[in-house]
Amino acid sequence: MPANKVLNKISSSSITTIILFNFLFILSVTQSDAHLFKNDDMCNATREVLCVRDVFAIMNKTIESISRAAIKTEKLIFVRNRKIYDTFKRYVNFEIDFIDSRLPNDKYHVNFSKTSNDIHRGDLIDLLLEGHDAMSFYYNSINRILHMNNVFSSETNKLLNQIRDHLRYHMICQYRSVLNVYSYEWKSIHLIERTPFSTINHTISLSLIHDVHSIIFVQLLNEWMPKLQSVMINAEGRLV
């Protein structure tokens, strides 16, 4: 066989191999991404939803439970730190300034509450994804606080554990059930950030750090509750 034909055959074979390799690589990455989106073990199974209104009703009750637990947590922490209130408040304000620009976006919920216009399916999906990602952000944040293992904050941690379970099973998993109805993907919990508290805290006690982070967490989370509740109550009536 002439040398040029051999070279052409080898070249053609190499190109085919490269194309096949690239295809398999892209397929592997796509499947990996799908795995990251779906399989994070947050929810046992994404159940079929017969009535979105019923899911919203569950979430609405959960919002009220989260708000009550958040208020209890806030009061408990303030009472515990009443003798050092000025110092405590200074640390809280410092941390809030530090994290303010890196908190979850709420633009769709704010726009929804500002108008009474009808919304389309795409608008509802935007609201659901924004709510899901925000609650996932605070779920990750609460885990970080609980992993501090502060023995002097057992009463606070009990309330935080309640909030964490509400966020996981009655908010995040419910969001996913509704998104599944509309065949939309959601981000894996592993792809979502958590509250980026500062690390400049080596001069204060672990107990005080825990209280500072906890009270900021419940305050920020509680600010989301009316926004979410507005969607749960009004979205279906405005959907066209």
What per-residue string of b and e applies to 109-146 under the rule 16 or more CB within 10 Å gives b? beebeeeeeebeeebbbbbbbbbbbbbbbbbbbbeebb
CA-wise closest residue to 140 among 200, 101, 176, 190? 190
Contact 150, 214 (CB under 8 A): no
| Nearest C-alpha neighbor of 163 from the set 145, 140, 139, 147 | 139
| Longest CA–CA separation in the chain, Å | 94
Task: Quote the pLDDT of residue 69.
Answer: 98
**pLDDT surpasses 70 at 83:** yes
Per-residue model confidence (pLDDT) at position 176: 95
Secondary structure (DSSP) of 141-178:
HHHHHHTT--GGGHHHHHHHHHHHHIIIIIIIHHHHHH
- Contact present, 225 and 163 (Cβ < 8 Å): no
**What is the average pLDDT score of the chain?**
84
81 has pLDDT over 80: yes
If one compares 44 and 41, the residue with the highest pLDDT of the two is 41
- Asked if the model's pLDDT at residue 170 lies above 60, the reply is yes
How many C-alpha atoms does 99 have within 13 Å on its Cβ side? 24
Provide the whole-model pTM. 0.82
pLDDT digits (tens, 9 = 90+) for 183-235: 889 999 999 999 999 876 657 888 999 999 999 999 999 999 999 999 999 99
180, 46 contact by CB (below 8 A): yes
Q: Which amino acid is at 104?
A: P
Q: What is the pLDDT of residues 132-160, one digit of tens each?
A: 999 999 999 999 999 998 878 899 999 99
Residue 49 pLDDT: 65
- Model confidence over 86-102: pLDDT tens digits? 999 999 999 999 999 99
Coil vs helix vs strand at 119: strand
- Torsion of the alpha carbons at 131, 178, 115 and 62, rounded to the nearest 10: -60
